[in-house]
A and B are shown apart, each in its own frame.
Chain A
């Protein structure tokens, strides 16, 4: 697959290319000092660009086609993963994957949205947009976790639940609502991680938990900036403004007390080093699990409901 370079990533790539050129052209000449200087420069450049991202740029990064997806994280941070298929009622939705795996030596149920990387796999995965049976598969797997007293980890990365005719016929709304209802009172720890796009009810449909973690270059909101622009500005052109208005980045959501923790990504974004991104996340998850394991099931549920009840702002 051809490298995808976002507009604001270009200066970084140009410099990196230059370093590569010098390395290959140098042959017998010692260029290590020059390379060292340039590498320092590229690191600073990355640091600079990435600490000044606009909200829209963050959305673009969250959608970067080389970003690691759920199955990449599962592969890189767990062992013994066994994928389990189907909702036992209608079929197997490829836009949501899940199964038991070991995180460290801890068996967990791990479930997430799954996007594809090219046209073919994207069609197979329906671009990460689940149908009702995807949410129902997730629910079935979560109930298995409850039965065997295993913690649940969910990974959010979807442009939304699929707005199709058959999705409506099979009860897209009911499937999402049921998950919100059930997840709110499952007596096992649930950790939610936003690994890419957290678009609306389609994301939240597997997103109720005790701890909500958000990777550094992701977004989470009630609507995608483009759709928000088209509805409120009556034009697709105001996506940057919409992204600003929606306040949808990890620091925004931390401030709004909707997420609990931001997980740093490797310099330049998770797509620059998926293995390292997975290791950082794994450590954070093990930490969280250790704390949550200490709570009694009733306390866990009580705290979870309380947590979501505190979200919002109103005048009496």
Chain B
């Protein structure tokens, strides 16, 4: 599809290739259907047979939400400083270097400003492929700047989450990003500007326990895993199997923590519609 194939200048074109399976065909991890890549792209990486939403990167979300050619990314080169010289089985420094090389992303979140159905919006989007979409200092600082930009330009903020939680290798610094991002959203709120949180598969841990749950509108993609503790930990705690659909987007809507589950193809229209009501 042309709207996707066109290259936005700040989008590294080799990211999408790496995220997609080799060759011309992809297999749906949910129903096993073999799908032609072109058809999958056309369907916004949603399985035409079972509606499984494939995990996609910030490149695809920016393409889906922004009007063509309007997106300008900021602070694209910001990287983690490894403030604690953290070493586990591997040096954190090396882990970062390898991940940057492998993914083409500088950290687990990118943000920029652009137009969504002609409306100026600031969008920040996480990349799960970057160390499990973990939140460290870079994610926190970029969200701070995204909010500052929005307050200055008087625009809404949309944050797209895809994360396993806080980044352990930044220890207490990563924990403090929960407070930092929440505090910035309080400022945005005090400025009367809307915040849309879009939760995609998966949104867990520290990201859920901070900005992801703080939307004026909490929106989730179908069947996205959303929770505080991971399912494995909960299963260990209670010593029982978890019920079908537990911690999925629809479950959270049922329990009252998500306003709306929105299929990918309707995201742009639904969010635009909400924003015109309040901004």
Q: How far is the CA of A145 from the CA of B206 in the complex (A)?
A: 27
Q: With A168-B228, A258-B176 in contact, is A223–B182 under 8 Å at CB? A: no
Contact of B255 among A169, A242, A245, A258 (CB under 8 A): A169
Point out the residues of chain B lying under 8 angstroms from A200, CB to CB.
Answer: 166, 175, 206
Question: Cβ of A313 and Cβ of B176 under 8 Å apart?
Answer: no
Question: Cβ of A208 and Cβ of B179 under 8 Å apart?
Answer: yes
Q: With A220-B172, A231-B168, A311-B180 in contact, is A165–B88 under 8 Å at CB? A: no
Q: How far is the CA of A204 from the CA of B180 in the complex (A)?
A: 11
Question: Cβ of B80 and Cβ of A315 under 8 Å apart?
Answer: yes
Point out the residues of chain B lying under 8 angstroms from A177, CB to CB.
Answer: 178, 182, 208-214
Q: Pick the interface stretch among A39-47, A113-121, A246-254.
A: A246-254
Question: Cβ of A163 and Cβ of B228 under 8 Å apart?
Answer: yes
Question: Cβ of B168 and Cβ of A180 under 8 Å apart?
Answer: no
Residues 196-233 of B at the A interface (beta carbon under 8 Å): 205-206, 208-214, 227-229, 233
Residues 110-142 of A at the B interface (beta carbon under 8 Å): none
Q: Is B185 an interface residue (CB 8 A)?
A: yes
Q: Is A11 an interface residue (CB 8 A)?
A: no
Question: Cβ of A176 and Cβ of B209 under 8 Å apart?
Answer: yes
Q: Is B94 an interface residue (CB 8 A)?
A: no
Point out the residues of chain B lying under 8 angstroms from A173, CB to CB.
Answer: 208-209, 212-213, 227-228, 257
Question: Cβ of B183 and Cβ of A180 under 8 Å apart?
Answer: yes
Chain B nearest CB, measured from A14 CB (Å): 36
Question: Cβ of B78 and Cβ of A312 under 8 Å apart?
Answer: no
Q: Which residue of B lies closest to A169 (CB)?
A: B255
Question: Cβ of A314 and Cβ of B81 under 8 Å apart?
Answer: yes
| Chain A residues within 8 Å of chain B by Cβ, number | 55
Chain A nearest CB, measured from B233 CB (Å): 5
Q: Is A158 an interface residue (CB 8 A)?
A: no
Contact of B257 among A171, A207, A241 (CB under 8 A): A171
Question: Cβ of B172 and Cβ of A315 under 8 Å apart?
Answer: no
Q: How far is the CA of A223 from the CA of B214 in the complex (A)?
A: 23
Residues 122-176 of B at the A interface (beta carbon under 8 Å): 136-138, 140-141, 144, 166-168, 170-176
Chain A nearest CB, measured from B228 CB (Å): 4
Identify the interface centre among A173, A176, A245: most chain B CB within 10 Å of its CB. A173
Question: Cβ of A305 and Cβ of B184 under 8 Å apart?
Answer: yes
Q: Which residue of A lies closest to B140 (CB)?
A: A312
Q: Which residue of A lies closest to B218 (CB)?
A: A174
Q: Which residue of B lies closest to A219 (CB)?
A: B172
Question: Cβ of A308 and Cβ of B237 under 8 Å apart?
Answer: no
Question: Cβ of A312 and Cβ of B137 under 8 Å apart?
Answer: yes
Question: Cβ of B180 and Cβ of A315 under 8 Å apart?
Answer: no
Q: Is B274 an interface residue (CB 8 A)?
A: no
Q: Is A276 an interface residue (CB 8 A)?
A: no
Contact of A315 among B81, B234, B237 (CB under 8 A): B81
Kindly state the interface size class of chain B when it binds its partner. Answer: 35 or more
Point out the residues of chain A lying under 8 angstroms from B170, CB to CB.
Answer: 222, 312-313
Chain A nearest CB, measured from B216 CB (Å): 12
Q: How far is the CA of A176 from the CA of B78 in the complex (A)?
A: 28
Residues 69-110 of B at the A interface (beta carbon under 8 Å): 75, 77-84, 86-89
Question: Cβ of A163 and Cβ of B213 under 8 Å apart?
Answer: no
Residues 251-270 of B at the A interface (beta carbon under 8 Å): 255-257
Q: Which residue of A lies closest to B82 (CB)?
A: A313
Residues 144-198 of A at the B interface (beta carbon under 8 Å): 161-165, 167-174, 176-178, 180-182, 184-185
Would you give the 0/1 interface string for A190-224, flagging 1 where the beta carbon is closer than 8 Å to chain B?
Answer: 00000000001100110110000000000011110
Point out the residues of chain A lying under 8 angstroms from B80, CB to CB.
Answer: 313-315
Q: How far is the CA of A309 from the CA of B176 in the complex (A)?
A: 9
Q: Is A17 an interface residue (CB 8 A)?
A: no
Q: Is A304 an interface residue (CB 8 A)?
A: yes
Question: Cβ of B182 and Cβ of A245 under 8 Å apart?
Answer: no
Can you list 12 pairs linking A and B with CB atoms under 8 Å apart?
A161-B229, A163-B237, A168-B246, A178-B214, A220-B172, A232-B89, A245-B171, A246-B84, A308-B180, A309-B184, A314-B80, A315-B79
Binding site for B on A (CB under 8 A): 161-165, 167-174, 176-178, 180-182, 184-185, 200-201, 204-205, 207-208, 220-223, 228, 231-233, 241-242, 245-248, 252-253, 256, 258, 304-305, 308-309, 311-316
The 7 lowest CB-CB distance pairs between A and B, nearest first, are A312-B137, A163-B229, A184-B183, A180-B182, A313-B83, A173-B208, A232-B88
User: Contacts A258-B176, A312-B170 given; 17 further ones with Cβ under 8 A?
Assistant: A163-B234, A174-B257, A177-B211, A181-B186, A200-B206, A221-B175, A222-B174, A232-B168, A246-B84, A256-B84, A256-B172, A258-B173, A305-B187, A311-B176, A311-B179, A312-B136, A315-B78
